[in-house]
Amino acid sequence: MFNQYFKDKRVLVIGHTGFKGAWLSEWLLMLGANVSGISLDVPTTPSLFDTLHLSDRLNDHRCDIRDLNALRALFVKEAPQIVFHLAAQPIVSQGHADPKTTFDTNLGGTINVMEAIRVTPTIESAIMITSDKCYHNVEWPYGYRENDRLGGKDPYSASKACAELAIHAYYESFFKNSNQCIASVRAGNVIGGGDWADNRIVPDCIRAWSHHNPVTIRAPNATRPWQHVLEPLSGYLLLASKLDGLLSGQAYNFGPDASVNASVNTLIHELAVDWDNAAIDVNPSTMQYAEAGLLKLSCDKALNDIHWQPTLNLKDTIHYTSKWYLGHKNNMDMLALTQDQIMSYCKQANKKEQVWCTNAQIA
C-alpha cells in the first residue's frame, strides 16, 4: 500500500491520542512506519488510544501544542520525516463554551506546529488537518471546493478557517521555496469505532443504547457528509506519499460520495438496526446554538491530482462503525478487530482499484 512509502519512515502524529489520530497511528504501524506521537492527554475514557494499547507500541509524548518550546524540543528528539497534525479542540459545542481555548489551540497550536516544522530539517512533508467547517457555509446544495470562501459562524469553525489562512501564509513565506512540502486537508463528518467524545451523534447513540436509554437528537434533518474514519485517512496517507513541489501549498477536500450525504435521522435509524431496543427522542429545545442544516464537499481536486476517491457507501460505513462498538460491548479483542477493519477496508479499496492499494498484496 502507498508503494511502501511509509515503511521505516519516522512519522510524527500530533494528536495521536484522539479518535482520528489513534486510527491513523494504528494504520501507520501496520504500514511499517516508526511512529511517534504528541498529544496533551487522552481525551476520553474509554478511548481508542487506550483500547489499542498504543502507548506501548509507539513513542508516546505528552505536550501542549500551545507551548512552542516544549513542542520544538520533541521535534528535535524525534527528528521526524513526515508530520500529520491533527491536534485540536474538535467539538463545536465546546467552542461555544470556551472560545479562547478553541482559538488558542486550533489557530495558535497550528502556528506553533508550523514553527517547529520549519526549523526541523529532517522533515520532508507535513499534512495539516483542519475541517470541512472552515468554509463559509451558506448551505447551497452543491459541494464546497478548495478555493471557495473560508469563514465560520461559530468559534470552532472560525478557528479552523483561521488555521487555513495561517497555513497558506506560512507556505508562501517559508515553505514555497524550501525542500519541505506542506498541504492542508479538509474532511467531512467522520464516524467509526472508538469515538467516545461528548456531543457527537454516534457516541451519543452508543452510550444511550448501551444503557437501554433513548438517544436525544436536536436536528434530525441536518445533512452531513458522513464517512468512515478510514476514508479521509487513506487520502491523508496518499497525499503524504505523493506530496512534492507541485502539490505543496495546496488544500484538499476528502469526503464521501454524494450518495453518503445523508440526514442525521437516516444515519441514526441505520445505526439502530444492529442494536436491540434502540430508541430515539427528538428534542429541538436542547439546541443551545444554531447548527448548519446542510454541508457538502467537492472532492474533484483530490481525484484529479492524486486519483483519490472514497470507497465505502453509507451502509458499509455504518456497518463498520456498529460492528466495532458491538465488539467492544462484547469484550472482543479490539486490537485484532480494529486491524481486521483496516484490512477489510483495504480489500474493498483494492476491489475498486483505488490507486493507493491497487498493487498491494492483500491476503
CATH code where residue 49 lies: 3.40.50.720
Report if residue 355 sits inside a domain. no
pLDDT for the residue numbered 293: 58
Residue 361 domain-assigned (yes or no): no
Query: Residue 270 falls within a domain, yes or no?
Result: yes
Q: How far apart are CA 260 and CA 225, in angstroms?
A: 6
Give 173's contacts (C-beta < 8 A, 6+ positions apart). Answer: none
Q: Which residues of the chain have pLDDT under 70?
A: 259, 285-293, 359-363
Contacts of 224 (CB under 8 A, 6+ apart): 188, 189, 261, 262, 264, 267, 295
Per the structure, the complete domain to which residue 274 belongs is given by: 8-349
In a domain, 334, yes or no: yes
Q: Assess if residue 358 is contained within a domain.
A: no
Q: pTM of the predicted model, to two decimals?
A: 0.95
What pLDDT sits at residue 292? 58
- Other CB atoms within 10 Å distance of the CB of residue 283: 10
Does a structural domain hold residue 152? yes
Look at residue 363 in the predicted model and tell me its pLDDT: 41
Whether the CB-CB separation of 167 and 293 falls below 8 Å is answered with no
| Residue 1 included in any domain | no
pLDDT of residue 352: 94
- Structural domain includes residue 14: yes
Count of structural domains, the chain: 1
How is residue 149 annotated by DSSP? P
Vertex 243 angle, CA 238 and 248, to 5°? 135
